[in-house]
Structure 1
């Protein structure tokens, strides 16, 4: 019989120590390695997944026995992991995109505040999100958590603290092994294939009651807080809204929610996809980001004056977003498919306009009390890496506040018809990211060079694929 460090058989929870119940009972996060050891032993955790988001937001990392995790074991990943395309290929070196010739190790540094269970595993398993540092213990600037953390440090230097609340849309689709077949909605509990036209209906959500129950159950066991869940416009398209909070914590939650929702869907014989445009004639999936900024000392919303009117900082934040987000759009729309979502006359804005409670604008100001005044960025798609989408959105607002950029006039009518006022494709968006000198400061030059190189590599991979449109219209006509 194998015993754990508490002298109990593996998988048998140890009794909590006296005076330690608070951190042992925590569903998400502890403050020290000692508390982590208590937390893991109390649950009889056998294995732990040490994960980190790559540039695409895919969890990468290592799994190990709990005893090794708590014994100060050094964890490493090759640096090339963070320069892979979404298809797992390594792009050619171009421009300033370069590999470490030795492909040296980068270290995984567990963030114990993210320690949580893995509720879909049959054996007692935990997970922890890790930061990435180099051999000297310094943050690796081009990794997603480091990019977002650097943007938050810029806010901190000014005495500000951003607050965000993401909304994540996704589709449930029937399982298929053939990538050449169009995706189809799954069957609901009624036994019928789901169709559209069920926006905000409770019946639409009820078609997937058991799946939704699993999502709530898995989330509760991980300490993830869902604010609301709704049925969106497309067939079997759902949306989860998260409670507002710290950007790193919310990016972590989106990172974990995506994984959680996929696992819950698999348990019910279907896929959950966060593709921006999974079905040709249906609405795309967004990751809307609500943003406000508070004074770090007082906690007061700097977007509102004492009399409740909108402040200059509020308008400057919008001005920064209007001017710079089109140039950083590739961090919010990272794939060729992302730009299929951005089409005129669809539910996605195709402009850089702003307005009060106007959903046709890129930047919507919802109706609210002055204390809750915020700006909703409606451009990011749900395929975006949450760390990078938040970093880009907040950085553009910060640039506007620091440089006092004045926005255009608010749109008072629908502005989502006609031409697209944003980058129309991936390569154009990559070039705009590289061309803006300010981004080297707010994101770091290493990140800009690395991200641009990976995105160009992904575009070249896409160009090797012949589409049905080409076969249909070019085969016999040209």
Structure 2
């Protein structure tokens, strides 16, 4: 093997085997979590230590427009992108032997670019490290397989299963339902194995064609990288079988939305013990403070966990989505759930993030709220028992309100990074303004001749 391939993780080297690498994709995630970057011949990649992209990629909206720069004149200076070799992995759906490598974004003085979402998460992990703590997370990914939708004016519909019938909803945990699109699932498993990505389990969710994929707990940055890779992997697997995979929060009217639940615990780096569990397994004050931080700051963090106008269609009472910041033990109606576990596995499940959020930012925002709670040491509200499917003014009802709440939370902005929040706000307000200029079919149907 050549020198550069010696730096690759075991899974990437195993994928290559004795074959020659044809191409390397140099990848970075933008504000939306879209993979941006350059592809180049492997021979060229082997000869360079970095490459360049303009910092304006973090001002590009989901529609491809450019938000106003909140900084100095919009001159688009180049960033220096350096490979993080630990992320190198296969792109097994390509016709040739291709690798993907996530890159770190630095400015020309060698500093991490503060508005790169991956750097935001790294910054918050660093805040924990300064206190002698190590956060541990486990994301759950929900998504829909759908029939190909070639006309945006037409509604999204479920895919055709192997039986020749369209996938049906209300079949949660049904093995027969998930077997309907078993060939897509098989490719997801095969691609994940080739990439060295671990799947903890796959199950049928409540929506028609809706799947949940669980990841094992681990390091927040590594798990965010994995979700970033999985989104692309799953889309490619679906396309092989004439359907789409979508991570929209609410792609089909009348069906449940798709969440990215995030399980979080915190370990003391000296003792290796979960700080949420004290002697004899009792819940600690830190456990209570972490919940309090989420209750005090999550309203503002919703702008990061629900980043699009469609995201707020998921927060509907009695539709399998939380609409509150209450907490409860093994209570799926609360926004903050404490699952059944032993003391060492005690954790808090944040059920608010949608699957449409950038995984780096969804995890970063969760950890930021919890960190603020640990530092501020405020008490959490009492445990909520019974059904918490209630209206709550703590959860914003649209993207504009969410961005206003984020702008008002000075503590959260400081933790996330002021420059990042300015950049994020500019992008999201641009997207929201674009949305408000679109006239929907509902408006034409009910207002055109009636008002």
Bin the TM-score by the shorter chain: over 0.9
SS of residue matched to 1:307: helix
SS of residue matched to 1:412: coil
Q: How many residues align?
A: 450
Q: How does 1:40-439 map to 2 (within 5 A)?
A: 42-92=18-68, 97-98=70-71, 100-419=73-392, 421-439=394-412
TM-aligned CA distance change 1:112 to 1:5, over 3 Å = closer
Q: CA deviation at 1:98?
A: 3.6
TM-aligned CA distance change 1:247 to 1:419, over 3 Å = closer
Q: CA deviation at 1:73?
A: 4.8
Q: Are the aligned partners of 1:79 and 1:100 in contact in 2 as well (CA < 8 Å)?
A: no
Unaligned runs of 5+ in 1: 7-15, 29-35
Determine the structure 2 residue equivalent to 1:465. 438
In the aligned structure 1, how far is the partner of 2:68 from the partner of 2:342? 51
Q: CA deviation at 1:157?
A: 0.3
Deviation track 1:82-121 (CA, whole Å, cap 9, x = no partner) reads 101101101245xxx2465321101111100011111001
TM-aligned CA distance change 1:418 to 1:446, over 3 Å = closer
Q: Are the aligned partners of 1:439 and 1:445 in contact in 2 as well (CA < 8 Å)?
A: no
RMSD: 1.8
TM-aligned CA distance change 1:282 to 1:223, over 3 Å = same
4+ residue stretches of structure 1 with deviation over 6 A? 38-41
In the aligned structure 2, how far is the partner of 1:100 from the partner of 1:51? 26
In the aligned structure 2, how far is the partner of 1:169 from the partner of 1:225? 16
In the aligned structure 1, how far is the partner of 2:268 from the partner of 2:392? 39
TM-aligned CA distance change 1:135 to 1:100, over 3 Å = farther
Deviation track 1:98-155 (CA, whole Å, cap 9, x = no partner) reads 4653211011111000111110011011110111101111100011011000000000
Q: Are the aligned partners of 1:290 and 1:375 in contact in 2 as well (CA < 8 Å)?
A: yes
Determine the structure 2 residue equivalent to 1:32. none
Q: CA deviation at 1:420?
A: 5.2
Q: CA deviation at 1:375?
A: 0.2
SS of residue matched to 1:167: strand
In the aligned structure 2, how far is the partner of 1:193 from the partner of 1:101? 49
In the aligned structure 1, how far is the partner of 2:430 from the partner of 2:106? 25
SS of residue matched to 1:51: strand
Q: CA deviation at 1:74?
A: 3.4
SS of residue matched to 1:337: helix
Q: Are the aligned partners of 2:8 and 2:85 in contact in 1 as well (CA < 8 Å)?
A: no
Unaligned runs of 5+ in 2: none
Q: Are the aligned partners of 1:164 and 1:290 in contact in 2 as well (CA < 8 Å)?
A: yes
Deviation track 1:298-335 (CA, whole Å, cap 9, x = no partner) reads 21100000211001100100000011011111110000
SS of residue matched to 1:27: helix
Of 228-237 and 431-440, more deviation after overlay is shown by 431-440
Q: CA deviation at 1:43?
A: 3.7
